Chains A and B, each alone.
Chain A
Amino acid sequence: MKKLRVIKSALTAICRNPTRTFLTTLGIVIGIAAVIALMEIGNGAQETLQKNIAAMGVNTMRIFPGTVTRSGVNTGTGARANLTMKDAEAILKNCDHVEAVSPVLWVRGQLIYGGKNWNPYSINGGNEDFLEISGWQIEEGEPISSMHVRRGSKVCLVGSTIVRELFDGENPIGKDLRIQNVMFRVIGVLKTKGANMMGMDQDDCVIAPWTAVKMRLRGAGSSSIVSANTVTSTTTLSASSTYTTGVTFYPEASSTLPPVRFSNVDSLIVSVPSADMLGIATEEIIAALRESHKLLPENEDDFRIRTMAEFTDFLTSSTKTTTNLLLCVAFVSLLVGGVGIMNIMLVSVTERTREIGLRMAVGAKARDILRQFLIESIVICILGGIIGIFVGHGMSVALAKLMGWPTSISYAAIILSVGVSALVGVIFGYYPAWKAARLDPIEALRYE
């Protein structure tokens, strides 16, 4: 029998009892709708999660100086003072998969504004790319520019906690803030980030050009009454044997950097275009830094690279697990829908016994009958699947609007659902079709 005619006659048969067909497909509709909605919501959740993780700095890595052991005492990571702007430049120049590099300096110190004072969790120094790399956004004001960095300008950006604690809701932009008794002009306010995963208030921070932090806050301890509070260990260690690594700590006077006494930085923060490039970027950075530090093959790395890759993997896999779990539930409902289809197909075969007998009398073979009923159940299932796709998509769009959940359309889910519903049709339609095909034409014709 011709394919077109088979499908046409299947459609006619289905349309003969529209209410029943609709109720039959309902199981499949609900099943497929659930699959589609879950896949889309799950996809959306994953995308948002990835965005959030990216904002937390998952496509970034930190490079710390290595350890140093003096007189049998290991000082721990970061104790060496061998990371410089030279390294940052080397990374930018030699590593194709690196987007941006910023030095990071971290000090603590007292802030004074008006009659108030506050000791923030961190005072960070970075270059013009620092905000972007570490996922900061500006609420108001302007970011740190390359000009600020070059000049070592005494400007800073403040987090929302500081605005609350020091400025009493006053607009801080343009105000002068004393950091360790050095005047800094506030040029912008950072967008609130909230606590980080360790529970630290990330908004309790000040960001300034690293050159200013280096020159005014760190090295200039003599002029600061609170210099004892600053992290100065790197400078004290810098006079140690680490000089033997051959790095220039006294860089030649350049037009871009003002003369500084020690050009080492606490760490470097590096961003890559996407998290999956972390691996290759790491290799490139290792190569670039070994080259720049002139390490011999037998020397160990004198720096450490840290990424958040493992953490991302964990979060991604946990959303995946949740989505998969929900999908299992959705597939159970598909199964129930399939049983409903089988039930109705069996009823339909009984009802249409005479028709089957007639078709056999005019020359339909058993396999023609089998095919006819199989195609009917597949058509019902695919119709249900298509309706389910629309319902499911509608549900996820509605959820996205009502609850503000992120969703994203999943084409894989759509193709999968059509396939699955056809498969349900074959599996659950086969038994009724087989029953129809092995009817005896004489009995079937006589059936009342």
Chain B
Amino acid sequence: MSLITLKDIRKTYIMGDIKLPVLKGISLNVEKGEMLALTGVSGSGKSTLMNILGCLDRPTSGEYWLDGKEISNLDNDGRADVRNKKIGFVFQNFNLLARTSALENVIMPLGYTAAHMTERQMIEAGKTMLERVGLADRMDHEPSRLSGGQQQRVAIARALVNKPQILFADEPTGNLDTHMSDEILKIFREINERDGVTIVLVTHEMDVAHSAKRIIKLKDGEISDDTVLEK
């Protein structure tokens, strides 16, 4: 069974009397362990699609099956639970908490559901994650003392600390130079291959998209192209 199944997902924004369709019937299957890129020019609806996939938003109509459950009709708290347990996010602007150590940033999501974990276990989990992204020696540093690439790695560690099945990365390299971008993309590939975490990269840069194994192009709210890259 697919990890993600979308059936005719539509999203229409209503502004006054005008209906503004952003997604016009998207159907999609994503298998476990895939690494796919979602591309398209701005206004093509890729952010909206990512918000729906990431359970931040609800579709106007259509079905969204995630890990065998239909979740398009969940209420806010239900979606918060799904986000916490199954989904990780990495953002373009990192979104780290200022004046909070890297470690505290990483274990922050655990605070919301990990009632079963003791404080020490949470710190252990956070340390393991930071080691995984190669920041073992930067645990006590605050974001302001880390480079952009390091900050993004902290963000990745934070996204992974809950052991999600899918990782959404919204323009993860948008604020980074080429060298750092390659480093981050390498980490994504590692996570994908070693841990089997499904990764969805949202980007408008084609060379970033090409580090994925499958590219889905969006145009005017519809899938215009869906290619699996041969490697």
Smallest CB separation, B106 vs chain A (Å): 11
Given known A-B contacts A366-B77, A445-B91, A359 and B108 have beta carbons under 8 A apart: yes
Q: Would you call B100 and A365 a contact (CB within 8 A)?
A: no
Smallest CB separation, B123 vs chain A (Å): 11
**Range class of the B interface residue count:** 20 to 34
- B56 at the A interface (CB under 8 A): yes
- B210 at the A interface (CB under 8 A): no
Given known A-B contacts A1-B111, A12-B100, A361 and B56 have beta carbons under 8 A apart: yes
- B97 at the A interface (CB under 8 A): yes
Given known A-B contacts A4-B119, A442-B57, A362 and B108 have beta carbons under 8 A apart: yes
- A381 at the B interface (CB under 8 A): no
- A116 at the B interface (CB under 8 A): no
Contact flags (1/0) for B88-118 with A, using CB distance below 8 Å?
Answer: 0101000101111000100011011101000
Q: How many A-B residue pairs lie within 8 Å, measured between CB atoms? A: 70
- Inter-chain contacts of A442 with B (CB < 8 A): 51, 56-57
B56, B100, B162: which has the most chain A beta carbons within 10 Å? B56
| B residues in contact (CB < 8 Å) with A | 51, 54, 56-57, 76-77, 80-81, 83-85, 89, 91, 95, 97-100, 104, 108-109, 111-113, 115, 119, 158-159, 162
Q: Which residues 328-371 of A have a CB within 8 angstroms of B?
A: 354-355, 357-368
- A70 at the B interface (CB under 8 A): no
Q: Would you call A362 and B76 a contact (CB within 8 A)?
A: no
Q: Would you call B115 and A363 a contact (CB within 8 A)?
A: no
Given known A-B contacts A16-B98, A355-B97, A358-B95, A365 and B77 have beta carbons under 8 A apart: yes
Considering the complex, give the chain B residue whose CB is closest to the CB of A448. B93
Given known A-B contacts A1-B111, A2-B115, A4-B119, A363 and B83 have beta carbons under 8 A apart: yes
Q: Would you call A354 and B109 a contact (CB within 8 A)?
A: no
**How far apart are the CA atoms of A152 and B158 in the complex, in Å?**
98
23 cross-chain CB contacts under 8 A: A2-B111, A2-B119, A5-B119, A12-B99, A12-B100, A16-B98, A357-B95, A361-B83, A362-B83, A362-B89, A362-B112, A362-B158, A363-B81, A363-B84, A363-B113, A363-B162, A364-B80, A365-B77, A441-B56, A442-B56, A445-B56, A445-B91, A445-B95
Interface SS of A by simple majority = helix
Smallest CB separation, B76 vs chain A (Å): 6
- Inter-chain contacts of A441 with B (CB < 8 A): 56
Contact flags (1/0) for A1-25 with B, using CB distance below 8 Å?
Answer: 1101110010010011000000000
Q: Would you call A366 and B108 a contact (CB within 8 A)?
A: no
Apart from A359-B112, A363-B81, A366-B80, what are 7 other A-B pairs with CB-CB below 8 Å?
A: A1-B111, A4-B119, A15-B99, A354-B95, A362-B109, A362-B162, A442-B51
